């Protein structure tokens, strides 16, 4: 072996060592160390092998995840895009393309760039994919979530149905449970209850973690549907034990959602102070994506407690947060605007009526005149 070969061999050994260190550092949640070794390994593999070599791409993925964990989303996006570019013309199949596209779409969705996220998912899923199993299912799920964030709830429900029809047992059950919340948003309550009952017998044999999460998702959606129909006591009866289960199992994402919907059920019964206490109890459990949910729940509770100035402040925050991560026609965005209108009207300010008329028009345009949201907006000002 010549001198050049020896140098290259030594460089590859060092690059592999750096990749191993990066991976182990990431597993220990040492993000800066994972970044340092991952960056060095990616540069070495790209130079000694190729930008599209699987080892180079693996380094870029670990590096992207480490940057993401540090909140450096622009840099994480750059690494994911470089990795995707590196797959062009490479002969290691479509799994990595779909997986990288899904990672990129998730990042774009989480930072509120919904149209871009949808385009990335659709491009990956429209490619010459024969069967990439869980990678394809993950990308389909990200597409469904993104379409839901865009306020296209009927389309999101159908995408989840499509996943349920082709995925393995666990993701299929989860997809079927995700259908329910979008049906509830659309006011299709009978379908929610019928599908929840049909789903109940299908997830009991799943892995414990999947079974618990699926059951909580189903319970939450049924409770939402009850609350939208004004059956708040029944919703409360479902949500209290579900919230306790989520807290016991450390499911922070479900804790926030279930807590917010329990607050909704209490607010609907005029128990604003209790609702505020529930919101405060779960406020530290979620991530940035849960802030709009909590701000809306807090605003509604403040309104029920008669604190109209505070309700307005929280509602304005909820509307602003929804604007970052959700479309203007998303159910939660319109709900937040409805509470804002109610808070301003209850303070006797004339602009409240303008806010009410504007949000009512949007409810009617996108969900129909008899939708629960339209009825609620129409009733703003009659509470006094």
pLDDT tens for 335-374 read 999 999 999 999 999 999 999 999 999 999 999 999 999 9
Token pair in block for residue 78: 């750059």
Q: How many residues does the chain have?
A: 384
- 16, with CB counted inside 10 A (0-12, 13-18, 19+), is middle
Give the burial class of 284: count Cβ atoms within 10 A of its Cβ; 0-12 exposed, 13-18 middle, 19 or more buried.
exposed
* Residue 348 falls in which region: left (phi positive, over 0), alpha (psi -120 to 50) or beta: left
Distance from C-alpha of 63 to C-alpha of 228, rounded to nearest angstrom:
44
Higher pLDDT, 22 or 6: 22
Tens digits of residue pLDDT in 102-111 = 999 999 999 9
CA distance 251 to 261: 15
The C-alpha angle 70, 74, 79, rounded to 5 degrees, equals: 90
pLDDT band with cut points at 50, 70 and 90 for residue 142: very high
User: Which 3 state secondary structure label does DSSP give 50?
Assistant: coil
DSSP 288: G
**Phi and psi dihedrals of 96, rounded to 5?**
-65, -35
**Do 226 and 238 meet the contact criterion of CB atoms below 8 Å apart?**
yes
Confidence category of residue 146, pLDDT binned at 50, 70, 90: very high
Query: What percentage of the chain exceeds 70 in pLDDT?
Result: 92
Please check whether residue 251 is in contact with residue 213, taking contact to mean a CB–CB distance below 8 angstroms.
yes
Residues 279 and 314: beta-carbon distance below 8 Å? no
Q: Are 38 and 66 in contact (CB under 8 A)?
A: yes
Contacts of 379 (CB under 8 A, 6+ apart): none
Q: Flag whether the pTM goes above 0.75.
A: yes
Single out the residue of 219, 228, 147 nearest to residue 187, CA to CA: 228
Say whether pLDDT at 141 is over 90. yes
pLDDT (0 to 100) of residue 127: 66
Q: What is the mean pLDDT of residues 278-295?
A: 84
Q: What is the pLDDT of residues 302-338, one digit of tens each?
A: 999 999 999 999 999 999 999 999 999 999 999 999 9
**Among positive and negative, which fits the CA dihedral 295, 152, 261, 353?**
positive
Mean pLDDT along residues 126-148: 83
Q: Which of 329, 315, 339 is closest to 364 using CA atoms?
A: 329
Residues 6 or more apart from 190 whose CB is under 8 A from it? none
SS3 132: coil
Per residue in 46-93, pLDDT (tens digit) is 888 888 788 888 888 888 999 999 989 999 999 999 888 877 655 444
Q: What is the mean pLDDT of residues 235-240?
A: 97
Structure-block tokens of residue 284: 């530290």
How far are the Cα atoms of 150, 183, 291 from residue 201, in angstroms, in the given order?
A: 31, 20, 34
Tokens of 240: 């209290």
């Amino acid at each position: 072996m010549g001198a050049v070969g020896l140098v290259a061999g030594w460089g590859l050994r060092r690059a592999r060592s750096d990749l191993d260190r990066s991976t182990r550092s990431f597993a220990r949640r040492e993000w800066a160390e994972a970044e340092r070794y991952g960056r060095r390994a990616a540069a070495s593999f790209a130079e000694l092998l190729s930008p599209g070599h699987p080892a180079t791409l693996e380094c870029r993925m670990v590096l992207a995840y480490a940057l993401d964990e540090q909140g450096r989303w622009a840099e994480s996006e750059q690494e994911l895009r470089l990795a995707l570019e590196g797959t062009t013309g490479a002969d290691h199949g479509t799994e990595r393309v779909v997986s990288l596209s899904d990672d990129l779409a998730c990042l774009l969705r989480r930072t509120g760039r919904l149209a871009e996220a949808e385009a990335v998912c659709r491009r990956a899923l429209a490619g010459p994919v024969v069967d990439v199993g869980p990678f394809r299912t993950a990308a389909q799920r990200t597409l469904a979530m993104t379409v839901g964030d865009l306020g296209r709830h009927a389309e999101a429900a159908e995408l989840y149905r499509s996943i349920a029809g082709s995925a393995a047992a666990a993701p299929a059950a989860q997809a079927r449970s995700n259908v329910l919340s979008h049906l509830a948003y659309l006011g299709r309550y009978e379908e929610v209850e019928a599908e929840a009952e049909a789903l109940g017998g299908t997830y009991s044999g799943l892995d414990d973690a999947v079974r618990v999460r699926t059951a909580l998702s189903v319970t939450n959606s049924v409770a939402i549907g009850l609350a939208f129909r004004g059956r708040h006591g029944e919703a409360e009866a479902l949500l209290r034990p579900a919230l306790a289960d989520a807290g016991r199992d450390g499911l922070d994402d479900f804790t926030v959602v279930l807590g917010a919907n329990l607050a909704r059920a209490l607010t609907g019964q005029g128990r604003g102070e209790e609702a505020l206490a529930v919101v405060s109890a779960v406020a530290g459990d979620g991530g940035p994506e849960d802030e709009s949910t909590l701000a809306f729940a807090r605003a509604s509770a403040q309104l029920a407690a008669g604190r109209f100035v505070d309700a307005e402040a929280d509602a304005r925050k909820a509307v602003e947060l929804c604007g970052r991560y959700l479309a203007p026609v998303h159910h939660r965005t319109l709900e937040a605007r409805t509470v804002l209108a109610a808070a301003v009207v209850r303070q006797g300010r004339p602009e409240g009526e303008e806010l009410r008329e504007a949000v009512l028009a949007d409810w009617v345009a996108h969900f129909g005149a008899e939708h629960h949201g339209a009825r609620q907006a129409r009733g703003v000002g009659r509470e006094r």
